[in-house]
Amino acid sequence: MNDCLFCKIAAGAIPSTKVYEDDKCLAFMDIGPVVQGHALVIPKEHFANLSEATDEVAAHLICIARKIAVAQTKALGAAGFNVITNQGAVAGQTVGHLHFHVIPQFEGNAHKWNWEARPYGDLSEAAALAEKIKSAL
């Protein structure tokens, strides 16, 4: 067993409150929820982050995250949800095993993201960045 917290949870060596499991992934309740009902979806195989995962694993995790999110709306009465992954300390990643957060959002009790738009001075700046991104695909 390696020293990864979520590998230990996937293996059952550390207990978790599971909501879904199959041969490739596990979904369980976040111990420090941003909103009550906040769940995490992880691959059973260790990948440090989304960049390192295979397309197959990434696609499967998104399918399961969607399934959990829809269940949160049906069963908990959530009016919406956020599905996110944090990659790298700069983005807020604290556990080095790929995970998607599935966060239900309730009317009147929504978690507010500090989502502050910083518009381009000129749209040519966006075009230049788009060209750089395209060149790396």
Q: Are 68 and 41 in contact (CB under 8 A)?
A: yes
- Determine how many CB atoms are found less than 10 A away from the CB of residue 89: 9
Q: Are 73 and 56 in contact (CB under 8 A)?
A: no
Q: Does 93 bind ligand 5GP (CB under 6 A)?
A: yes
* 60 noted as active-site residue: no
Q: Which is nearer to Zn ion, 84 or 95 (CB)?
A: 95
Q: Does 95 bind Zn ion (CB under 5 A)?
A: no
**Single residue of 7, 16, 60, 106 touching ligand 5GP by CB under 6 A:** 16
The one segment of 28-36, 49-57, 59-67, 70-78 that binds ligand 5GP by CB under 6 A: 28-36
- Determine how many CB atoms are found less than 10 A away from the CB of residue 115: 5
Q: Does 94 bind ligand 5GP (CB under 6 A)?
A: yes
**CA–CA distance, 40 with 26 (Å, rounded to integer):** 8
**CA–CA distance, 91 with 57 (Å, rounded to integer):** 21
Write out the catalytic residue numbers: 99
Return residues touching ligand 5GP (CB under 6 A). 5, 16, 28-32, 86, 92-95
